[in-house]
Structure 1
Amino acid sequence: MAGFLQDHKFVLLFYLGVILLVYFFRKKFDMQGIIALYRTKIGLKQMESISTKYREYVKLFGYIGIGAAYIGLVIISVMLFKNLFDLFTVPDAQSAVSPVLPGIQIPGTQVKIPLFAGWLALFIVIVVHEFAHGVVARAHNLKIKSSGLFFLGPLMGAFVEPEEKELRAADDVKQYSVLAAGPFANMLLAALVVLFFVAAASPLQKLFVHEAGVVFDDVLDNYPAKISGIEKKMLVTKVNDKQVSDIKDFIKALEPVKPGDQVKILADDKEFTPTTVANPKNNKTAYLGITGSTKFEGNFMYGDILYWLLNILNNFLSLVGALSLGIGLINLFPIFITDGARMVQVSLLALNKKNSIKGMSLWKKVNVFCLAILLLGLFFPLIKWIGNLF
């Protein structure tokens, strides 16, 4: 525990500062338990404009979203049920769900999102989600009361507040389309990020830089590479007389090598001949005691700088895409407050029109069951981590 606090002291101070700011300005917020709502009219004009100008397209977006949302609901449900089973039956299984706390590595998991990039990515994902709800609602002439920011403890998000009575009184298809719009928009955002990587990022990278070889990021003491004189940051261009342009070439050149074989490595225009040993994790494979990565060089002046900037953009967009898909899907899992829960509620009430009490009873049972699944998956790594402390 002391190590966790030491590693995250500045992040925890940042979150404490956010909580104190909300507390000092609490009169400007609508406090609902630990949730602080700051209501505004920001974005409402834009929602109105888009929903009016492209009404039929927006409606179509919402209708397509219904099918996508129910498919997503099934996918996330199967994933979480299977993951919980694996957690109890597979020794090294990892939880499929984790709280999203930028800057903090959740105990018992490998999940850690950068603090400021994480906040910005989360904000973008939530704004896209809520804006989609608002635009589709207005396309169906359903009133939006307000938009704004909320703080759940130290975490910030955004919201769009429809006229709840009017939404519940609307026909089922309208309700489905409004509820599905947010998660569907998140799925599309994730897809657009992937499309950017495939269609734009890779060609741009090749325009800016070329692969110049493999650089050693680490060379372990008392292992063949170090003993032979190889040092960190050396640039490898040949292995066993085979040209090496990237890390894939390097790995491929070493594939035939067995423990005890001598390897000829050309690094920084010097030849080294380490003799491999057995891999500590698999004694049938050869081991040099190094880790490496592809070395890129600019194709023109400042090409490497442009590549570096593109990498930053890539990393940020990949974070946006991953969070967008994850939040979109988890929002479809039926646990009382999610869009998926509301969609299941509409479905069960429609199937039990003559007995709404039965429909609501079934809905509550489904939500309690799903909440139990989520909580078990969520806290299993933490419980395991605490158990390892004793």
Structure 2
Amino acid sequence: MDITLLFLTVFIAGTLFLVGSKIERHFIFFLIRTKHFINLIDKLASISPMLWKFLADFAIVLSFSGLGAAYLSRYRKFGRNLDAILLLIGLAAIILWWQGLPFFLFSLVVLAIGIKSLSSIKNPNADFLVTTTLTSVIWLSMTHWFVAVLEGMFGLIVIIFAPLIENAFAITSGESTIPGVSPVILIPFKIAGEWCFPIPGMDICIPVFYGLIALILLLIVHEFAHGILARVHKLKLRSTGLLTLGIIPIGAFVEPDEEEFQRSESLIKTRVLSMGSFANLVLGIVTFFLFLYIALPSAMIVAESHVPYIDVNSRIETIDNAPAVVDEFNTYLFTNKLWTIDKKSIEGKDNINITTDRGTFLLRVEDAKKIKMRTQPQFRYNYQICGINIFQILTGILFWTFFFNINIALINLLPIPPFDGGKMLIELISIFDIGKATVRRVISVVILLGLLILLVNAFPLINMLTEYIGDLIGCYCSFFPI
């Protein structure tokens, strides 16, 4: 049976079952509530409440950098978490710009004196300035100085919007037709022989098995993190559960008592909101490094060849004496992509040597360009059960868990309600002692700018959809001429 038909059959049958149950429903969206996990959340919250509060404060500064530090400065009377966070950021900056042991020791002394002074004066402006400086120093090693300074001031939202703004200019100028944002289509399609969830407009297709596991892990970690911080602050949890589209899980929730949550202090609300994305970032980083440790650069296998002696399914070992491999990241991100020989590596040449597992051959560059290759993943370890390499499955799970968690964590920090980043921004703006009307105006401007950037980045998708509808209308008219 075709797997798409099977998927639709199971989806419809499962959805009809949910419709007939007493589960809360909004069209084909369902809220499946339970209280079974509340005891587990309570146990996790009781392990070390002080540690959870520190992690939440760290998440606030990580998310909003200088602005987050200025916000926490108002709450220095509740503890010294901000001092410890500034020490960690300062140490990272000093180590990143290592200039020898004397420099390290001198910088460490200056940092300690500075943090002690900040703790004494309790000035949000000073905390903002110092955190902005230290964070900008870290980012200067990775990006343009202007972006680094903005990141130091406003946090990860700059890292989110900077490439989107750049891509928006490329789209409006006609230099790019690639969307900057695109949804995952949670319906399996068979692409290049593999069932996966496609991302329209991008050469990315998420294998169904790995995608579902990664999505479930993401939802559990995100919502448990919210729930743990809520219980650390003694907020009641009414239920936990899943949000589903039919029978497909598309979200999870830990439901606090909303009235109690809204009445709680601003710091408590911000801590609870911050932990979801932070937990996803941590899981994403951990799984990424585990993936890099287990996975090795992939071998190149001939997929299509119209060249004598270069047989399909032969393994290409070197191209002009350079190893023929694709890095681990691109292997898994572009699962079904067919690769060609890098034009830069053969520029200006008439002939090149290609070595396969069947010999070395001298080819004209024009012929070599016609060869198409697929990747064959390789692993540091090989352990098979029933002919299945366990580490092949593990690397797939690790990569897509990283992919989902990093992307969702950043998206969730967008300063646009109903994302957590939008709700946090409302709380953070309160440090400026401005009226509610001004807060609403600031939030409205941020939302409009954010939506405009997202809309421009989605414009290629709109063009694709328009062309697709036009093709359908054309097919209809050809069968049923007017």
Measured in 1, the distance between the counterparts of 2:176 and 2:261 equals: 45
Q: Which residue of 2 aligns with 1:358?
A: 438
* Aligned partners of 2:45 and 2:52 also within 8 Å: yes
Q: CA deviation at 1:56?
A: 0.7
Which residue is equivalent to 1:161? 255
Query: Distance between the aligned counterparts of 2:390 and 2:430, measured in 1?
Result: 52
Name the counterpart of 2:465.
386
2:335 counterpart of 1:247: no
Q: Distance in 2 between matches of 1:178 and 1:299?
A: 40
| Aligned-partner Cα distance in 2 for 1:238–1:75 | 37
Match of 1:276 in 2: 364
Which is further off, 367-376 or 184-193?
367-376
Deviates more, 1:137-146 or 1:165-174: 165-174
TM-score (norm 1): 0.76
Does the CA contact (< 8 Å) of 1:98 and 1:111 recur in 2? no
Q: Deviations over 1:296-338 (max 9, x none)?
A: 69999959967x3212211221111111011111111123211
Mapped partners of 2:374, 2:403: distance in 1 = 26
Change (3 A) 1:68 1:304: farther
| 1:344 alignment counterpart | 425
Looking at structure 2, the residues matched to 294 and 114 of structure 1 have their Cα atoms a distance apart, in angstroms, of 16
Please tell me whether residue 96 in structure 1 is matched to residue 180 in structure 2: yes
Per-residue CA deviations over 1:151-196 (Å, capped at 9, x if unaligned) read: 2455412110112222222222222111100011111111111221
Check conservation: 1:352, 1:359, Cα contact below 8 A: no
Which residue of 1 is the match for residue 413 of structure 2?
332
Where does residue 282 of structure 1 map in the other structure?
Answer: none
> Secondary structure at the residue paired with 1:187?
helix
Alpha-carbon distance, 1:33 to partner: 5.6
Percent identity over the alignment is 25
Q: Sort the Cα spacing of 1:301 and 1:21 in 2 relative to 1 into closer, same or farther, 3 A.
A: closer
Q: Does 1:184 align with 2:278?
A: yes
1:381 aligned partner, one-letter code: P
Letter in structure 2 aligned against 1:218 = A
Cα separation, 2, equivalents of 1:290 and 1:149: 43
Of 351, 364, 376, the match for 1:261? 351
Describe the SS at the equivalent of 1:278.
helix
For 2:160, the equivalent position in structure 1 comes to 76
1:119-172 per-position Cα deviation (integer Å, ceiling 9, x unaligned):
221121011001000101111222222111112455412110112222222222
Q: For the aligned residues, what is the CA RMSD?
A: 3.7
Cα deviation code 1:352-388 (max 9, x no counterpart): 55x324323433443344234334434x233111343
Q: Structure 1, residues 188-245: CA drift from partner, whole Å, max 9, x if none? A: 11111122134x415xx69xxxx9xx66422422xxxx3x3332223456777x6x87
Shift of 1:23: 1.8
Q: Which has the higher mean CA deviation after the structures are superposed, 327-336 or 8-17?
A: 8-17
CA distance in 2, matches of 1:124, 1:360: 35
Structure 1 residue 76: Cα displacement: 1.9
1:65 maps to: 59
Give the distance between the partners of 2:382 and 2:272, measured in 1 at CA: 50
Q: Does 1:45 align with 2:50?
A: no
Alignment partners' CA distance in 1, 2:272 and 2:437: 24
Alignment match of 1:234 (pick from 303, 314, 322): 314
Aligned to 2:291: 197
From 15, 20, 44, the counterpart of 1:19: 15
Q: Name the CA distance, whole Å, in 2 between partners of 1:121 and 1:32.
A: 26
Cα distance in 2, alignment partners of residues 36 and 85 from structure 1:
39
Check whether the contact 1:19–1:153 (CA below 8 A) recurs between aligned residues.
yes
**Residues 190 and 320, structure 1, Cα contact 8 Å, conserved in 2:** yes
* Cα separation, 1, equivalents of 2:177 and 2:169: 10
Whole-Å separation in 1 of the counterparts to 2:270 and 2:280 = 16
Q: Does the C-alpha gap of structure 1 residues 358 and 189 become closer, same or farther in structure 2, counting only changes over 3 Å?
A: same
Q: In structure 2, what is the equivalent of residue 283 of structure 1?
A: none
Aligned length: 354
Equivalent position amino acid for 1:147 in 2: T
- Cα distance in 2, alignment partners of residues 328 and 375 from structure 1: 20
Assess, with a 3 A threshold, how the Cα gap between structure 1 residues 349 and 32 changes in structure 2: closer, same or farther. farther
Amino acid at match of 1:23: V
The 1:34–1:375 alpha-carbon spacing in structure 2 relative to 1, beyond 3 Å, is farther
**Contact 1:245/1:294 (8 A) holds in 2:** no
Q: Measure, in 2, the Cα distance between the counterparts of 1:346 and 1:372.
A: 23
Please list every run of 5 or more consecutive structure 1 residues that lacks an aligned counterpart in the other structure.
1-5, 280-285
Residue equivalent to 2:96: none
- Conserved? CA contact 2:24–2:32, under 8 Å: yes
**Which residue is equivalent to 2:233?**
140
